[in-house]
Amino acid sequence: MAKVNFTAALKRFYPTLEPMVVEGNSVAEILAVLEKKHTGLTDYLVDEHGELRQHINIFIGDQMLTDRTNLSDEVRERDEVLIFQALSGG
């Protein structure tokens, strides 16, 4: 199972988000499990076509997600996944 972490920016919208261990072999499977625990979270992360929204980034270990369309990037048992809202401004 992978450990999933969230940045403080996401916790602003979902205050009960805490690091958790989640079972899944792909980013899509991980997000499906997260949706069951935090209803509405995937609506914030992906658009109506199931693609990762522009302002969201996901890292698996130290590698950024490559498949933003199908979310098929592999997640292995001991991977750490970081989900965060990209911030801009200056």
User: Please, what is the average pLDDT of the chain?
Assistant: 92
pLDDT tier for residue 51 given thresholds of 50, 70 and 90:
very high
Domains defined along the chain, listed by start? 2-85 (3.10.20.30)
Adjacent-strand bridge partners of 83: 6, 58
Q: What is the pLDDT of residue 88?
A: 63
CB 45 within 8 Å of CB 31: yes
Mean pLDDT in residue range 59-68: 97
Mean pLDDT, residues 56-78: 96
What pTM, to 2 d.p., does this model score? Answer: 0.90
The pLDDT, as a whole number, for residue 90 is: 55
